[in-house]
């Protein structure tokens, strides 16, 4: 029989693993462990792919997504496109603990977080500003737009849709891998 308890997480984010383990060892629930572990990654800004100051969008803003699920009750708390709040997994836990809903998004999720006592602050850092500036310098490449004008593979926006969409190819889902840009 394999030993329990157990913590497993994607990527070699060891401080997050350790934080989750510490929570379990201290008598916390698996939910507490997941919340603590993910929160540690948010503080550490793991790999630039978690937490504030990473992955700026087309406007240069960092927004956060998080979700937590209880395998006993099947309860879920989730937030997406969360603005100005660093502790996204904490807000997801608050959605689970303090609402009968499952998933809050955008500005309204941020207002919910504020009402639950989470600190509202800018998620921009010098690093995210630098990433954004470089992207602008590269004429907004890489770019997720398609079938718009001007050509999004060569130019920044604003964009408008082009008429007469080309036939969709299944290979259009294949993209170049950026190990520091992932969900």
Partner 1 sequence: TIGMIAVDRNGNVATGTSTNGASHKIPGRVGDSPVIGAGSYADSLVGGAAATGDGDTMMRFLPSYQAVENMRLGADPTTACQKAIDRIQKRIPVFFGAIICANRTGSYGAACSKAPGFTQFHYSVFKPDLSQPLEEIVDCL
Part in contact with partner 1 (CB under 8 A); list of ranges 11-19, 110-118, 160-168: 11-19
- Counting contacts by CB under 8 A, is residue 1 touching partner 1? yes
Other Cβ atoms within 10 Å of 15 Cβ, number: 13
- Counting contacts by CB under 8 A, is residue 161 touching partner 1? no
- Comparing CA positions, the residue from 81, 136, 131 lying closest to residue 111 is 81
Q: At what angle do helices 14-25 and 30-44 cross, to 10 degrees?
A: 150
Size of the site for partner 1 (CB under 8 A): 87
Among 50, 85, 94, 113, the residue binding partner 1 under the rule CB under 8 A is 50
- Counting contacts by CB under 8 A, is residue 85 touching partner 1? no
Other Cβ atoms within 10 Å of 59 Cβ, number: 7
Among 111, 114, 124, 145, the residue binding partner 1 under the rule CB under 8 A is 145
- Counting contacts by CB under 8 A, is residue 4 touching partner 1? yes
Query: Rg (Cα) of the chain, in Å, rounded?
Result: 19
- Counting contacts by CB under 8 A, is residue 110 touching partner 1? no
Q: Are 174 and 183 in contact (CB under 8 A)?
A: no
Among 89, 112, 113, 118, the residue binding partner 1 under the rule CB under 8 A is 89
């Amino acid at each position: 029989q394999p030993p329990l308890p157990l913590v497993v997480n994607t990527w070699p984010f060891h401080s997050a693993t350790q934080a989750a383990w510490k929570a379990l060892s201290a008598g916390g629930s698996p939910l507490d462990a997941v919340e603590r572990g993910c929160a540690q990654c948010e503080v550490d800004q793991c790999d630039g792919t978690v937490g504030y100051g990473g992955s700026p969008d087309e406007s240069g803003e960092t927004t956060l997504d998080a979700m937590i699920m209880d395998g006993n009750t099947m309860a879920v708390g989730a937030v997406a496109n969360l603005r100005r709040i660093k502790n996204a997994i904490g807000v997801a836990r608050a959605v689970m603990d303090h609402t009968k809903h499952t998933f809050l998004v955008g500005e309204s999720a941020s207002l919910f977080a504020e009402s639950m006592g989470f600190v509202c602050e800018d998620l921009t850092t010098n690093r995210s500003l630098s990433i954004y500036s470089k992207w602008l310098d590269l004429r907004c490449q890489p770019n997720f737009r398609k079938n718009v004008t001007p050509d999004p593979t060569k130019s920044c926006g604003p964009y408008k849709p082009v008429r007469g969409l080309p036939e969709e190819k299944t290979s259009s889902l294949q993209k170049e891998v950026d190990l520091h840009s992932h969900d």
